[in-house]
């Protein structure tokens, strides 16, 4: 069996693979042209889908991202794709907690006052997050992790799933997708965590943005295609919304002419919410476990399901 490591590894990781799987041949390369050799039975990393599709020998691709929409061209091939589903959730939860507190505590305004050398102690600027409502549009791994980190602070947290399920103790209410408007009307912070599928694309459209509470903040850490960005920019410019924290966009990198860059009430981050400097460790461990399963003929963890979209 041949395994191509299409990514940089940490110290000792290549040696560990060769030690634990002596019957497997490993190569490491980030050169797209090396894929054309069609040498690998298995690839670990995120090679371009267009370079992978012509390969005849490849049987399994372990990617290091949770989303796999970039690999839609492979959905009708014999290649099994497994993802990093769940690995990023705890760090995304930390990121969203930071952006929620940024807006709740009035940091955009206070930073502008600092730049202007103004000592502004008006107590009406910061809010108590414990008195606000956080609406989670999606209650999968990320939504659950965020509910856990919010619990000690004490805001009212409501969630939404596409299918009916019992309300867990971490939530005040768990709604189904048909109650999305109700969630938007109640929430001071709307956090979008749903996967991008044919059913969810454009879900937060102009009409639904109008249903959000005046002064509410939208946080998107899922996919840009879930939100009508033009309508969002309009609602922000009109002052109807209190702000937005956007980590993902329909087209990335975000165009330099995008209005979001210069809006004082918008936080732009470069699709980095789920990352940290040691992320390579848990993604490597996911690959090692799946490689053991693949070699033993056992079911792989976290297969990409193109029919569901996650």
CATH architecture for the domain at 89-268? 3-Layer(aba) Sandwich (3.40)
pTM: 0.93
Return d(Cα 209, Cα 84) in angstroms, integer: 31
Give the dihedral sign, CA 73/77/79/84. positive
Return d(Cα 159, Cα 146) in angstroms, integer: 11
Q: What is the pLDDT of residue 308?
A: 81
Query: 112 is written with which tokens?
Result: 């502008």
Tens-place pLDDT, residues 27-61? 999 999 999 999 999 999 999 999 999 999 999 99
Q: What is the pLDDT of residue 84?
A: 97
Q: Nearest CA to 219 among 231, 232, 230?
A: 232
Kindly compute the dihedral angle of the four CA atoms of residues 147, 70, 254, 257, in this order, to the nearest 10 degrees. Answer: -140
Q: Which of 105, 127, 271, 275 is catalytic?
A: 271
Say whether 27 is catalytic: no
Tally of CB atoms within 10 A around 177: 17
Tens-place pLDDT, residues 220-240? 999 999 999 999 999 999 999
Return d(Cα 310, Cα 301) in angstroms, integer: 13
Q: Which of 189, 223, 235, 286 is catalytic?
A: 223
Tens-place pLDDT, residues 25-35? 999 999 999 99
State how far Cα 100 lies from the chain centre. 16
Q: What is the pLDDT of residue 69?
A: 87
CATH architecture for the domain at 2-87+279-296? 3-Layer(aba) Sandwich (3.40)
Query: Angle at which helices 107-115 and 89-104 pack, to 10 degrees?
Result: 60
Strand, coil or helix: 62: strand
Say whether 223 is catalytic: yes
Strand, coil or helix: 22: coil
> CATH 3.40.50.720 region(s) of the chain?
2-87+279-296, 89-268
Residues above pLDDT 70, as percent of the chain: 100
Q: Which of 15, 252, 285, 289 is catalytic?
A: 252
Tens-place pLDDT, residues 87-99? 999 999 999 999 9
Name residues whose C-beta falls within 8 Å of residue 32's C-beta, 6 or more positions apart in sequence. 47, 48, 51
Q: What is the pLDDT of residue 188?
A: 98
Give the chain's mean pLDDT: 97
Q: What is the pLDDT of residue 162?
A: 87
Give 307's pLDDT tier (boundaries 50, 70, 90). Answer: confident
Name residues whose C-beta falls within 8 Å of residue 205's C-beta, 6 or more positions apart in sequence. 228, 231
Say whether 199 is catalytic: no
Residue 310 predicted with pLDDT over 80: no
Mean pLDDT within 138-152: 97
Order the strands of the 243-246 sheet from edge to edge.
Answer: 173-176, 156-161, 133-137, 189-192, 217-220, 243-246, 266-268
Mean pLDDT within 10-18: 97
DSSP E strand stretches across 34-188 = 42-45, 60-62, 80-82, 133-137, 156-161, 173-176
Mean pLDDT within 162-181: 96
């Amino acid at each position: 069996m041949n395994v191509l490591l299409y990514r940089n590894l940490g110290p000792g990781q290549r040696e560990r693979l060769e030690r634990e799987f002596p019957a497997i041949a490993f190569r490491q390369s980030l050169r797209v042209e090396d894929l054309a050799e069609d040498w690998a039975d298995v690839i670990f990393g995120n090679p371009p889908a267009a370079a992978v599709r012509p390969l005849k020998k490849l049987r399994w691709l372990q990617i290091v991202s949770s989303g796999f929409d970039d690999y839609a061209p492979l959905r009708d091939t014999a290649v099994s794709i497994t993802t990093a589903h769940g690995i990023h959730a705890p760090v995304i939860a930390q990121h969203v907690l930071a952006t929620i507190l940024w807006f709740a505590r009035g940091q955009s305004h206070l930073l502008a006052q600092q730049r202007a050398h103004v000592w502004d102690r008006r107590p009406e600027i910061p809010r108590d997050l414990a008195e606000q409502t956080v609406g989670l549009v999606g209650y999968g791994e990320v939504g659950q992790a965020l509910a856990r980190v919010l619990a000690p602070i004490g805001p009212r947290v409501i969630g939404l799933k596409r299918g009916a399920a019992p309300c867990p103790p971490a939530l005040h209410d768990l709604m189904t997708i048909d109650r999305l408007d109700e969630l938007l009307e109640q929430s001071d912070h709307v956090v979008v965590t749903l996967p991008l599928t044919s059913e969810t694309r454009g879900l937060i459209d102009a009409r639904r943005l109008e249903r959000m509470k005046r002064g509410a903040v939208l946080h998107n850490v899922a996919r840009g295609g879930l939100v009508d960005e033009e309508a969002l920019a309009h609602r922000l410019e009109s002052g109807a919304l209190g702000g937005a924290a956007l980590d993902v966009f329909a087209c990335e990198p975000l165009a330099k002419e995008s209005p979001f860059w210069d809006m004082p009430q918008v936080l732009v981050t470069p699709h980095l919410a789920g990352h940290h400097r040691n992320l390579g460790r848990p993604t490597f461990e996911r690959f090692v476990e799946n490689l053991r399963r693949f070699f033993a003929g056992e079911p792989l963890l976290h297969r990409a399901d193109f029919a569901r979209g996650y």
